[in-house]
Amino acid sequence: MAKRRSKKRTHAGANNPATPAAVVGHANSRDPKSMVIRIGAGEVGTSVSQLATDVRKVMEPGTASRLRERKANRLRDYVTMCGPLGVTHLLLFSRSESGNTNMRLAITPRGPTFHFRVEKYSLTKDIRRAQRHPKGGGKEYITPPLLVMNNFSNPSADANSKVPRHLESLTTTAFQSLFPPINPQTTPLKSIRRILLLNREQSDDGTFIINFRHYAITTKAVGLSRPLRRLNAAEKMLKSKKGKKGGLPNLGKLKDISEFMIGGEDGEGYMTDGTSGSEPESDAEIEVLETATKKVHSGKARAAEQDSDDEEAGANDNVERRAVKLVELGPRMKLRMTKVEEGVCTGKVMWHEYVHKSKEEIRELEKRWEQRKKEKEARKKQQKENVEKKRKAKEGNKKAGEAGDKDDDEMDVDEYEYDSDLYDDDDGFDSEGLEGDAEEQVNAQMEENGEWEDEEKEIAKGKSSKRKSLKR
């Protein structure tokens, strides 16, 4: 089999898994897909551009991670391509004339569109710079993040509240549809590597504020001493393909391995998670079954193993206690919802934070939108009729042109048959060569009359003979 070609010079390869089986738990063609776009590529600035790039990393793998915007691109261009590419969500970042950074979440192809003002944000590089041991850049982005939403529904909200109940449910559904659903019974734990936390700040002043956080999930064995953990990590590193000597502990100054295990000659350096000051919370500890290969035994050996398990009264050596910790990846945003409208960025306003209308004004707007909708449908109908009319006219002209060519041929034959001016001579010939050697007869006659020398000069000058032109 031929070796698979890999481009290394001119093309940047995508961070896709080698096989679909590598994506465990989320390999489905019906999964939501998104595009994170910065509107006004040359006007938003470097910070907003980097923010859009960081949000693309959050939406991995179901997003256009290598999308390149141009100044000439408009929103209509992206909306047109959503259908053929199967894109279900658009996240649009822009900057207003007053300097405010805005984000719009649009569900294609029919909407609605949620308008947010980005009041505060921190880029991924800023968060990594503030951490002592930053994490990221590994296999965390192979699978979608686990979406955690908090306080999106207010129990005291109703249809007449400043933030109505139907708006809360609509916003919840929109954010839930960003990522594929998870089945707890079939989804393996190793496929959940990140968490996207959306926390709504509860307030009674009519504001809808969402805090956007992005974390990576890390686990650590609990109940083991630090030297033993270092030895386990070194063993795993040596077994892996990318083994490094730097992962091995330095035993050069010790007399025995026991000194390393107990933390010195007196054992004063022996520390576990329980004796150290960095003890994790007990609520963050879970029990996990270790993944180990089992040897297939015969029937007698299997029965003996089952009897020994019954005698041990349910003791399981494969259970391991691990502490779960979240490490922030970034970016971090504080989003304030300002408006919700129907359609993809063009439609009737369903809710506005600052503008509140009475029932009469709402009815008037409804009538106006209905009238506008009817006019739009009428224009579409008229355009369709005009296109069909032009198509039929074009086909008719084409048929008429073909028929006209045939009629012209027939008329030419009739003229040559019935026009007596073309047949003044008794011999009756066609000067265009239809009779074969008619031109030779003319030339011979002109040569006898001494007129051929004048004709030869006119032919050399590029002019046709007067006599010939008259006969033609």
pLDDT at 113 (0 to 100)? 95
Nearest CA to 145 out of 87, 88, 190, 192 is that of 192
Give the single-character DSSP code of 224: -
Q: How far apart are CA 364 and CA 360, in angstroms?
A: 6
Please answer whether residues 28 and 179 qualify as being in contact, where contact means their C-beta atoms are separated by less than 8 angstroms: no
Which residues on adjacent β-strands are paired with residue 91?
36, 105
Counting every residue written for the chain, the total comes to 472
Ordered per-residue pLDDT tens for the chain, 472 residues: 677 877 766 655 555 555 544 455 455 778 999 999 998 766 788 999 999 999 999 999 999 988 988 888 889 999 999 999 999 999 999 998 888 999 999 999 988 999 999 999 999 999 999 998 888 777 889 999 999 999 999 888 888 888 999 999 999 999 999 999 988 888 888 888 999 999 999 887 889 999 999 999 988 777 667 777 777 777 777 777 665 656 677 777 777 777 777 766 555 555 555 444 444 455 566 666 655 555 555 666 667 766 665 555 444 556 777 788 899 998 999 999 999 999 898 888 889 998 888 778 778 888 888 888 888 889 999 999 999 999 989 888 888 887 766 655 554 444 444 444 444 444 444 444 444 455 666 667 777 776 666 666 666 665 544 444 444 4
CB proximity list for 175: less than 8 A, separation 6 or greater: 105, 147, 149, 152, 198
pLDDT at 292 (0 to 100)? 53
pLDDT at 401 (0 to 100)? 81
State the CATH architecture for 23-221+329-356: 3-Layer(aba) Sandwich (3.40)
- Largest pairwise CA distance in the chain: 140
* Domain residue ranges in the chain: 23-221+329-356, 226-320, 359-418, 434-471
What's the helix, strand, coil split of the chain in %, to 5?
A: 40, 20, 45
pLDDT at 321 (0 to 100)? 76
Rg (CA), the chain: 41
Which residues on adjacent β-strands are paired with residue 59?
none
On whether the pTM is more than 0.85, the answer is no
